[in-house]
Amino acid sequence: MAPVIDFLLDRHLSPQWRGVLAALAAEFETQLGGAELRELMHRVGSRFAGAHPLPVCLSVVDLERAINQRWLEADWGYVEIVEAPDALRIAHFCSPLKAFGANALSWTPGFLEGVYEMWLAELGGEGLRVEQTSTFDEDGVIDFRVGNRLGQRHR
């Protein structure tokens, strides 16, 4: 599964972190349930976004460009943002979330939800919710929907 992502992780994930991240994820999973893990990662993502703010963005194109610059700096893949009639759609390509292990892919995308919500809030989109709408696919893509805060967070 995800041969491109596996290749990238093998090339870019430092050997000193491989075992640590897997052990960290395994310990988290023994201590917390899936919803709690997802919320923890959401908070971590918010903290990351707060430490790496975006510049002012006046359009969706500006937003996509600014987000991609941040992800380029962190070597965290890239995004494509599409305006839909009812929401924005964010497709995140090549994130290294699989470094925590395949089992952790059920809760680690909470990190990206937190990052995107915080960035949007800082740009004036307070009250918007970012929700994962797809699984981490074999090409390493995760889709998100940005909309009003209705319903429960994806679990």
Q: Token digits for 72?
A: 């380029």
Domain span at residue 39 reads: 3-148
Is the pLDDT higher at 91 or at 6? 91
Quick check: is 41 in a domain? yes
Domain membership of residue 129 (yes or no) is: yes
Assigned domain for 155 exists:
no
**In-domain check, residue 95:** yes
Mean pLDDT of 95-124: 93
Does residue 154 lie within any of the structural domains?
A: no
Decide if 71 is inside a domain: yes
Q: Which has the higher per-residue pLDDT, 10 or 90?
A: 90
Q: Tell me the CA end-to-end span of the chain in Å, nearest whole number.
A: 22
How many domains does the chain divide into?
A: 1
Cα(105)–Cα(99) distance, rounded to whole angstroms? 9
Share of the chain above pLDDT 90, in %: 58
Are 37 and 29 in contact by the 8 Å Cβ rule? The answer is yes
What is each CA distance from 69 to 66, 79, 155, in whole angstroms?
A: 5, 10, 29
* Model pLDDT, residue 116: 98
Per-residue pLDDT of 110-137, as tens digits, reads: 999 999 999 999 999 989 999 999 998 8
Position 64 in a domain: yes
Which pTM does this prediction carry? 0.85
The CATH code of the domain that includes 100 is 3.30.1380.20
Kindly state whether residue 44 falls inside one of the protein's structural domains: yes
Phi, psi (deg, nearest 5) at residue 97: -60, -25
Question: What would the pLDDT profile of 50-86 be if each residue is shown by its tens digit?
Answer: 999 999 999 999 999 999 999 999 989 999 999 988 8
